[in-house]
Amino acid sequence: MKKIANDEAAVVIIGSGAGGGTLAYELTAAGIPCVVLEAGPFLKSEDYHNNEWEAFKQMAWLDARTTSGSWRVAKDFPGLPAWIVKAVGGSTTHWSGATPRFKDYEFKTKTTYGDVPGASLLDWPITLADLEPYYDRAEIAMGSTHRHGRPALPANNNYKVFANGAERVGYKLYATGPYATNAEPYDGRPASIQDGFNFQGDKNKSKWSTLVREIPRALETGLLDLRPDSHVVRITHGADGKADAVLYVDKEGNLHRQAARVVCVAGNSIESARLLLLSDSNRFPKGLANSSDQVGRNYMRHMTGSVYARFDKPVRMFRGETMAGIIADEAGNDPARGFVGGYYMETLSLGPSFLASFVEPGAWGPDFTEIMEAYANTAGMWIVGEDMPQATNRITLSDTARDQWGLAAANVHFDDHANDVAMRDYAYDHAQKLYDAVGAVASHRTPPYPSTHNLGTCRMSERPEDGVCDKWGRAHDVSNLFISDGSVMTTGGAANPTLTIVALAIRQADHLAAKLKAGEL
Amino acid sequence: MTTKRDAFALDPGKDEASRRLLAKVVRTAFPHKTFPDAVYQRSADAVLAAASGTPAQKLGFAAALHELAQSGFGGLNDEAAALAHLKSIENTPFFAFTRATALVALYDDPEVWALLGYEGPSFDKGGYINRGFNDLDWLPEVRIEEYEAGK
């Protein structure tokens, strides 16, 4: 592996997930050496556990965090606002794989929805047309089924219930994808063996992640200096206001400095915002790149919920690809439903260990055990839709809580917007109707899990005062500082965000490579 | 029996009566008729192990368990009465801790998985590609491709 000297002003990427891992591959492939600083360990596919709690303890980001606000997660899981990964590959190692694209109007929701009270809607500074070529490249890289000649995954048991229900209630836009897991061998990786373990890391490597594709290929170029267990705690700047180094802590707690020519922040929305807030200085008293006071604001987590339905016959939802089932009929904007924006329905399965903890947090007694008792006969789906950005939903630094390094922990404040609540109620109702149509004995409305889709907090904006970065992800305030993850999303759309994060990162890499080669950075 | 019931167990994890009493709490909170006593006892033992932190934690837990013993909960043979008793202490730290800890242990137990029809780790068995990932036969086969007219 390449060794880049700590005093050599390098292209430094913070994080190795969908954004950082993709950027590292695209830049090294273009001949540009990079340092990648990853807070977590270098877990490999063979290290993963086919066990929900063991995997969670191995992979999840469990550093101290706090919550506030009226969202239910703050009550059920006050110290765990998000379920994301701290390891090389980031949260691409535990994502399920659904890859819908954003729709055209989802880049211009302020224009489309008009004034929504309490929402800080803003049109993106880019359009779907800008992103389409990069969506193509991302889908090809990730091997999305149903796209670019990639075949569909077969129907598993959970999908059979889901799709039959869809058909019976009149939905048409159902399929087993698009889903970035191989139905047949592709890109040097094998076909899915339908082992049912996705959130726990895929031991079979059929699922795309930056761990199995971008990181190893970037290492093969000989231009990547990958440093796991390297938790960035501050970005510093010179007298000219440009970022000049990043400071990070190794697993023994020793501080290191890496000089930087360009810094790309891709720590997932909570940590990216926290890092900028931790990097305050006399020049940037509210945090780096935060003259707009927008860093940390407009945190979005998608409107989510789940419905688990039980039948009088076996389903065995745990057999097979977890989320290889998508219904898009409700994904458009139809305000006649009582809310703006749309949502997807997607198959979902949990094992008994996680279902017990998440199906109705806090519940016990016979009503609860009735749900668990029916485990083998249960089908499940997730609902995931656009939530409204709100300036007050934000990441701040805790006054009291500290992480293992003694640094202020992130507090995640979130209140559901009335539009989120209306959409969730409607989606629950329609999910239950779908299962009723195929003979459900009963079904349960499961509240949101800790956030897996963490978006916003450093949003792109045309005008510097409205956001944190421009249409390339470049910080409005700091010309060599880029944001390279889902925190740049101006609004969240309904689609699972990973495909869009990858597409944006490929686009940003092209831009960065051109600027670097032209000597403009 | 009466004297035993009133004895304060400083280390309930090593006291048979306390262990059985807590197992009854777990069974009452998470009643599954087909589950053997052993799985409830394992879950209760996990709670006892987790409750052995600082002296203050140990004391608080042991005192709550002692009160539960004194209340006669152990002798309640009627399920509804036992459930009602737990409802009455639902908001105590003792019950909240026991519920949360027992839940994780109980449903993370491979014997419980088998009782519920969950098959556990699958990668080492080749996944389910040849072991029934699509064996549901009580609904028609269904389209996997996207809707043509929707493209």
Chosen from B142, B145, B148, B151 to mutate, greatest number of chain A CBs within 10 A:
B142
Q: For A153, which residue in chain B has the nearest alpha carbon?
A: B144
Residues A32, A129, single domain; the answer is yes
Residue A398 lies in a domain: no
Residue A116 lies in a domain: yes
- Residue B2: predicted pLDDT: 40
Residues A125, A235, single domain; the answer is yes
* Burial of residue A242 (number of CB atoms within 10 Å: 0-12, 13-18, 19+): middle
Cβ neighbours of residue A203 closer than 8 Å, sequence gap 6 or more: A45, A46, A48, A50, A195, A197, B123
Residue A436 lies in a domain: yes
Would the pLDDT of B79 be above 50? yes
Would the pLDDT of A423 be above 90? yes
SS3 label, residue A322:
coil
CA dihedral B6, B7, B8, B12 (to 10 degrees): -110
Residues A267, A183, single domain; the answer is no
Closest approach of B65 to chain A, Cα-based (Å): 19
Residue B148 banded pLDDT, cuts 50, 70, 90: confident
**Which of these three, A428, A447, A466, is where a domain ends?**
A447
Checking A3-8 for CB contacts under 8 A at 24+ apart, the result is A3/A225, A4/A33, A4/A35, A4/A225, A4/A258, A6/A256, A6/A257, A6/A258, A6/A259, A7/A259, A8/A259
- Residue A427: predicted pLDDT: 98
* Surface of A (430-489) touching B: CB under 8 A: 438
Nearest to A487 by CA among A305, A274, A283, A247: A274
Residues A498, A431, single domain; the answer is no
Residue A53 lies in a domain: yes
- Residue B52: predicted pLDDT: 87
Closest CB to B132: pick one of A155, A316, A375: A316
Residues A248, A361, single domain; the answer is no
Handedness of CA A212, A213, A215, A218 (dihedral sign): positive
Residue A211 banded pLDDT, cuts 50, 70, 90: very high
**A314 contact residues in B (CB cutoff 8 A):** 117, 136
Residue A395 lies in a domain: no
* Burial of residue A198 (number of CB atoms within 10 Å: 0-12, 13-18, 19+): buried
Residue in this structure with the two tokens 């390891």, named with its chain if needed = A87
Instruction: Give φ, ψ of A201 to 5 degrees.
Output: 90, 140
Instruction: Indicate yes or no: CB of A173 within 8 angstroms of CB of B150.
Output: yes
The mean pLDDT value for A318-334 works out to 98
Residues A270, A334, single domain; the answer is no
Q: What is the ipTM of this complex?
A: 0.95
Q: For A202, which residue in chain B has the nearest alpha carbon?
A: B123
Would the pLDDT of A163 be above 90? yes
State which amino acid sits at residue A101: R
Q: Which H helix or E strand runs over A396?
A: strand A394-402
SS3 label, residue A30:
coil
Alpha carbon separation from B99 to A176, B18, B22, B44 (Å, rounded):
38, 16, 11, 10
Nearest to A72 by CA among A445, A491, A459, A487: A445
3-state secondary structure chain B: CHHHHHCCCCCHHHCHHHHHHHHHHHHHHCCCCCCCHHHHHHHHHHHHHHCCCCHHHHHHHHHHHHHHHHCCHHHCCCHHHHHHHHHHCCCCHHHHHHHHHHHHHHHCCHHHHHHHCCCCCCHHHCCCCCCCCCCCCCCCCCCCCCCHHHC
Would the pLDDT of B150 be above 70? no
Cα–Cα distance between A315 and B135 in angstroms, integer? 9
Q: For A172, which residue in chain B has the nearest alpha carbon?
A: B147
Instruction: Indicate yes or no: CB of A197 within 8 angstroms of CB of B123.
Output: yes
* Burial of residue A33 (number of CB atoms within 10 Å: 0-12, 13-18, 19+): middle
Residues A225, A337, single domain; the answer is no
Closest approach of A373 to chain B, Cα-based (Å): 6
Q: What is the CATH number of the domain that holds A314?
A: 3.30.410
Q: Which H helix or E strand runs over A446?
A: strand A442-446
The mean pLDDT value for A71-84 works out to 97
pLDDT tens digit sequence for A7-62? 999 999 999 999 999 999 999 999 999 999 999 999 999 999 999 999 999 999 99
Residue B3 banded pLDDT, cuts 50, 70, 90: very low
The mean pLDDT value for A408-427 works out to 98
Residues A238, A379, single domain; the answer is no
Chosen from A173, A179, A194 to mutate, greatest number of chain B CBs within 10 A:
A194
Closest CB to B127: pick one of A193, A316, A353: A193
Q: What is the CATH number of the domain that holds A465?
A: 3.50.50.60
Residues A263, A347, single domain; the answer is no
Residues A105, A173, single domain; the answer is no
**Which of these three, A447, A470, A487, is where a domain ends?**
A447
Decide if A5 touches B, using CB distance below 8 A: no
Would the pLDDT of A112 be above 50? yes
The alpha helices in A90-156, defined as continuous H runs, are 109-113, 128-142
**A52 contact residues in B (CB cutoff 8 A):** 108
Cβ neighbours of residue B5 closer than 8 Å, sequence gap 6 or more: B17, B69, B70, B74
Instruction: Indicate yes or no: CB of A357 within 8 angstroms of CB of B104.
Output: yes
**Number of separate domains in chain A:** 2
**Which of these three, A406, A425, A447, is where a domain ends?**
A447
pLDDT tens digit sequence for A448-464? 999 999 999 999 999 99
Domain boundaries, chain B: 2-119
Decide if A184 touches B, using CB distance below 8 A: no
Residue A474 bridge partners (DSSP): A482
* Surface of A (273-302) touching B: CB under 8 A: none
Question: Which two structure tokens, joined as six digits, stand for B88?
Answer: 């009455």
Alpha carbon separation from A449 to A86, A355, A440 (Å, rounded):
18, 11, 23
pLDDT tens digit sequence for B19-53? 999 999 999 999 999 999 999 999 999 999 999 88
Nearest to A200 by CA among A91, A65, A327: A91
Would the pLDDT of B1 be above 50? no
The mean pLDDT value for B1-18 works out to 75
Instruction: Indicate yes or no: CB of A320 within 8 angstroms of CB of B31.
Output: no
- Residue A277: predicted pLDDT: 98
Closest approach of B105 to chain A, Cα-based (Å): 8
Radius of gyration from C-alpha coordinates of chain B: 22
Count other C-beta atoms under 10 Å from residue A54's C-beta.
15
Question: Which two structure tokens, joined as six digits, stand for A198?
Answer: 């996705």
How does DSSP classify residue A473?
A: S
Instruction: Indicate yes or no: CB of A372 within 8 angstroms of CB of B119.
Output: no
The mean pLDDT value for A122-150 works out to 98
**B78 contact residues in A (CB cutoff 8 A):** none
Residue A88 lies in a domain: yes
Q: For A372, which residue in chain B has the nearest alpha carbon?
A: B116
Domain residues for the domain of A322 are 147-201+303-385+416-447
Q: Please give the share of chain A, as a percent, with pLDDT higher than 90.
A: 100
Residues A190, A314, single domain; the answer is yes
- Residue B8: predicted pLDDT: 86
Residue B9 banded pLDDT, cuts 50, 70, 90: confident
CA atoms within 13 A on the CB side of A350: 24
Count other C-beta atoms under 10 Å from residue A9's C-beta.
15
Residue in this structure with the two tokens 């421009």, named with its chain if needed = A470
Instruction: Indicate yes or no: CB of B104 within 8 angstroms of CB of A53.
Output: yes
Q: In what order do the strands lie in the sheet with A174-175?
A: A174-175, A326-327, A343-347, A378-385, A303-310, A442-446
Chosen from A179, A193, A368 to mutate, greatest number of chain B CBs within 10 A:
A193
The mean pLDDT value for A259-267 works out to 98
Residues A307, A179, single domain; the answer is yes
Residue A394 lies in a domain: no
Cα–Cα distance between A274 and A278 in angstroms, integer? 6
pLDDT tens digit sequence for B93-137? 999 999 999 999 999 999 999 999 999 999 999 999 999 999 999
